[in-house]
């Protein structure tokens, strides 16, 4: 039976709740396949893993620590989740990435449920397919970072706040649930967890002229939830580490918006837009039509679908605009907006007008061209970066051509669900194959695990690892003994409260010879490009043990005891 967008949405065969569970389980399989096959990816994954490992082993769940020193870049919830996963599954890569993967799967299921409830069953399904096959979403679902759990918290907070405003007094409890989600967002990544959904919701109410809905918010329970969930950790951390609150709220948040950086590092405001467009590939070609349709619906006859479209547009705009001011931007900053973008695109692709079909045709044509481009230029490009072309080129070409052509034919015949599913498969399958090829054949390209394990194999029992010039964060997770640094300051140690506690963990350049001369011997790690400089500073107190590009492993030759 055709699922033509020109015909009414057929009755759903699976109930909304069961459908969301099915989407969740499928997403777990798609995102979680061989989740722990690769060592933690430098530099963020092993840093966060080291913090969670230390939290579990020391039992100190108030103060996050990195190599024994206070680390307050982010609040603790992400570290708590990872430490809990370690406690249940052991300290390994799969356990580290599991909370992030589950957050991605839950968000995908929530997007399906949101789209289905407001727009229709097909719209919800298409939104879930679009979300799961956005390049940035799929990649971040398999990488342990704060941004995916934050995206779940923001999505849940925005959704529950909208339900609270839509349902009147009978739905006031949704505002409390929204406060819970926002509070968890704050404990994940700071004030942004409250600002994005809160500001988006207030602006949305102003646009649809429903600011009176704020009078129906049970403010006492909402404020109580925010206070009871957020304040205790900040108070406990401040008590244990005086200056922690000022450092985190002022230094790590305001500073990111106002700091001055060198001109080559500055990025213009529109980079945030480019990150969003690039992150939702291959669906970026649907963005103009989806945003235009959402804007037109926002001016149409008042209805829940119309109001929800306005919320989605405001949600995207607030996220993008908020991250424009920082002089240095990262692609993961736009992650909280991707679920809203997926819902807009799913609504657009399922629409009754011809624009959705045109967008699907464009995505199909782009996918075919991508397949042709990889076929012609892929081997040469991959050879240039030292990645095997044999498995990757066919794995990209075949799904791209098949998926793109299927989408084009499906769009022409009114089978848009089939077309979207074909594109999603054409994106996900090659990404998994690329995962296999790079992880199995060239693990050193993306992770420092091999070199840290090589150094550990060379180390004597209880020996310290000394890192010269640059300290891989993977050393704190994979090396079984103490780790010290000689050379550049380690950015994770910047909390002022660590001053006076660095001796024994970090030493400046001028103390290099003294560190290498003291007994007992240490196993060492340096980048190959720093080896000549190391030999000059160490004055023959180091011996090369092994080259593990881009590193060298050495041993110190100390003075006799």
pLDDT tens per residue, range 137-153: 999 999 999 999 999 99
Could you tell me if 313 and 393 lie in one domain?
no
Could you tell me if 289 and 241 lie in one domain?
yes
Where does the pLDDT of residue 537 fall: very low under 50, low under 70, confident under 90, or very high at 90 and above? confident
Show which of 295, 317, 351 is a domain's final residue. 351
Residues 331 and 139: beta-carbon distance below 8 Å:
no
- Nearest-angstrom CA–CA distance, 52 and 90: 12
Could you tell me if 397 and 467 lie in one domain?
no
- 216 belongs to a structural domain: yes
Highest-scoring range by mean pLDDT, 32-41, 338-347, 552-561: 338-347
Could you tell me if 544 and 439 lie in one domain?
no
- 46 belongs to a structural domain: no
- 43 belongs to a structural domain: no
Q: Show Cβ contacts of residue 130 under 8 Å, excluding neighbours closer than 6 positions.
A: 280, 283, 286, 342, 345, 346, 349, 420, 424
| Predicted local distance difference test score (pLDDT) of residue 11 | 41
Q: Show Cβ contacts of residue 457 under 8 Å, excluding neighbours closer than 6 positions.
A: none
Statement: residue 379 has pLDDT above 80: no
Where does the pLDDT of residue 554 fall: very low under 50, low under 70, confident under 90, or very high at 90 and above? very high
Statement: residue 294 has pLDDT above 90: no
Percent of the chain with pLDDT over 90: 67
| Predicted local distance difference test score (pLDDT) of residue 117 | 95
- 551 belongs to a structural domain: yes
Could you tell me if 99 and 196 lie in one domain?
yes
Statement: residue 366 has pLDDT above 80: yes
- 158 belongs to a structural domain: yes
Q: Across all residues in the chain, what is the average pLDDT? A: 89
Could you tell me if 129 and 169 lie in one domain?
yes
State the average pLDDT over residues 525-549: 90
Report helix, strand or coil for 555. strand
H or E segment to which residue 541 belongs: none
H or E segment to which residue 264 belongs: none
- Nearest-angstrom CA–CA distance, 319 and 200: 8
Could you tell me if 408 and 511 lie in one domain?
no
For the entire predicted model, the pTM comes to 0.92
Phi, psi angle pair for 486, to nearest 5°: -120, 125
- Nearest-angstrom CA–CA distance, 399 and 392: 11
State the average pLDDT over residues 292-307: 83
- 61 belongs to a structural domain: no
- 426 belongs to a structural domain: no
- Which 8-state DSSP code applies to residue 506? E
N-terminal to C-terminal alpha carbon distance within the chain: 84
- Nearest-angstrom CA–CA distance, 187 and 33: 29
Phi, psi angle pair for 440, to nearest 5°: -80, -40
Could you tell me if 441 and 488 lie in one domain?
no
Report helix, strand or coil for 368. helix
Could you tell me if 294 and 381 lie in one domain?
no
Show which of 320, 351, 382 is a domain's final residue. 351
Per-position DSSP letters for 167-233, written without gaps between them: HGGGGTHHHHHHHHHHHHHHHHHSTHHHHHHHHHHHHHHHHTT-GGGGGGS-HHHHHHHHHHHHHHH
CA nearest neighbour of 511 among 466, 479, 463: 466
State the average pLDDT over residues 66-89: 96
Statement: residue 84 has pLDDT above 90: yes
- Nearest-angstrom CA–CA distance, 242 and 252: 16
Percent of the chain with pLDDT over 70: 89
H or E segment to which residue 162 belongs: helix 147-167
CA nearest neighbour of 523 among 547, 477, 550, 555: 555
- 375 belongs to a structural domain: yes
Show which of 317, 351, 385 is a domain's final residue. 351
The tally of domains found in the chain comes to 3
| Predicted local distance difference test score (pLDDT) of residue 12 | 47
Q: Choose between 560 and 93: higher pLDDT.
A: 93
Q: Provide the edge-to-edge strand list for the sheet that holds 542-548.
A: 506-507, 483-487, 465-469, 523-527, 551-556, 542-548
Could you tell me if 254 and 140 lie in one domain?
yes
CA angle 179, 81, 74 (to 5 degrees): 70
- Residue 209's domain comprises 16-36+92-351
Could you tell me if 382 and 524 lie in one domain?
no
Residues 133 and 428: beta-carbon distance below 8 Å:
yes
Phi, psi angle pair for 481, to nearest 5°: -115, -170
Where does the pLDDT of residue 311 fall: very low under 50, low under 70, confident under 90, or very high at 90 and above? very high
In the chain, how long is the greatest CA-to-CA distance?
Answer: 86
Statement: residue 419 has pLDDT above 90: yes
Where does the pLDDT of residue 336 fall: very low under 50, low under 70, confident under 90, or very high at 90 and above? very high
Phi, psi angle pair for 526, to nearest 5°: -150, 155
Residues 226 and 269: beta-carbon distance below 8 Å:
no
State the average pLDDT over residues 201-228: 95
Could you tell me if 236 and 273 lie in one domain?
yes
State the average pLDDT over residues 122-126: 96
């Amino acid at each position: 039976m055709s699922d033509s967008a020109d015909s009414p949405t057929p009755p759903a065969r699976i109930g909304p709740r069961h459908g969301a569970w099915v989407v969740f389980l499928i997403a777990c399989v798609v995102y979680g396949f061989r989740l722990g096959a690769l060592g933690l990816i430098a530099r963020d994954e092993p840093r966060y893993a080291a913090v969670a490992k230390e939290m579990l082993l020391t039992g100190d769940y108030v103060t996050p620590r990195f190599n024994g020193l206070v680390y307050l870049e982010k609040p603790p919830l992400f570290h708590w989740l990872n430490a809990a996963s370690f406690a249940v599954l052991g300290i390994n890569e799969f356990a580290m990435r599991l909370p992030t993967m589950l957050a991605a799967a839950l968000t995908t299921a929530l997007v399906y449920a949101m789209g289905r409830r407001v727009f229709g069953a097909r719209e919800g399904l298409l939104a879930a397919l679009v979300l799961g096959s956005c390049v940035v979403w799929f990649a971040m679902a398999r990488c342990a970072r704060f941004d995916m759990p934050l995206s779940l918290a923001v999505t849940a907070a925005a959704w529950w706040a909208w339900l609270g405003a839509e349902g009147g007094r009978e739905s006031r409890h949704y505002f409390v649930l929204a406060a819970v989600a926002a509070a968890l967002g704050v404990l994940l990544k700071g004030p942004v967890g409250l600002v994005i959904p809160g500001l988006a919701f207030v602006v949305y109410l102003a646009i649809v002229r429903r600011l009176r809905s704020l009078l129906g918010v049970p403010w006492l329970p909402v404020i109580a939830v925010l206070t009871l969930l957020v304040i205790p950790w900040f108070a406990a951390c401040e008590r244990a580490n005086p200056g922690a609150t000022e450092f985190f709220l002022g230094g790590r948040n305001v500073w990111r918006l106002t700091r001055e950086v060198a001109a080559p590092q500055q990025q213009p405001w529109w980079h945030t837009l480019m990150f969003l467009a690039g992150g939702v590939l291959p669906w970026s070609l649907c963005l103009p039509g989806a945003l235009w349709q959402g804007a037109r619906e926002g001016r149409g006859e008042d209805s829940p679908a119309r109001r929800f479209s306005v919320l989605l547009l405001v949600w995207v705009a607030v996220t993008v605009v908020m991250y424009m001011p920082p002089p240095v931007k990262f692609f993961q900053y736009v992650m909280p907006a991707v679920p809203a973008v997926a819902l807009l695109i799913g609504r657009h692709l399922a629409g009754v007008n011809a624009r959705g079909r045109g967008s699907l045709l464009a995505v199909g044509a782009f996918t075919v061209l991508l397949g042709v481009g990889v076929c012609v230029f892929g081997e040469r490009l991959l050879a240039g970066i030292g990645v095997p072309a044999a498995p990757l080129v066919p794995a990209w070409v075949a799904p791209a051509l098949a998926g793109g052509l299927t989408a084009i034919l499906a769009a022409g015949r009114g089978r848009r669900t089939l077309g979207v599913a074909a594109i999603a498969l054409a994106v996900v399958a090659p990404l998994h194959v690329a995962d296999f090829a790079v992880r199995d054949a060239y693990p050193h390209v993306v992770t420092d695990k091999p070199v840290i394990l090589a150094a550990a194999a060379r180390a004597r029992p209880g020996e310290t690892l000394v890192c010269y010039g640059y300290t891989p964060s993977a050393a704190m997770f994979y090396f079984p003994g103490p780790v010290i640094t000689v050379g550049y300051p380690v950015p994770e140690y910047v909390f002022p409260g660590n001053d006076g506690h660095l001796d024994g963990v970090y030493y400046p350049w001028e103390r290099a010879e003294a560190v290498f001369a003291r007994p007992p011997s240490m196993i060492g790690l340096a980048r190959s490009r720093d080896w000549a400089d190391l030999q000059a500073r160490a004055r023959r107190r180091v011996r090369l043990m092994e080259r593990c590009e881009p590193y060298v492993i050495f041993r110190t030759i100390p003075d006799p005891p």
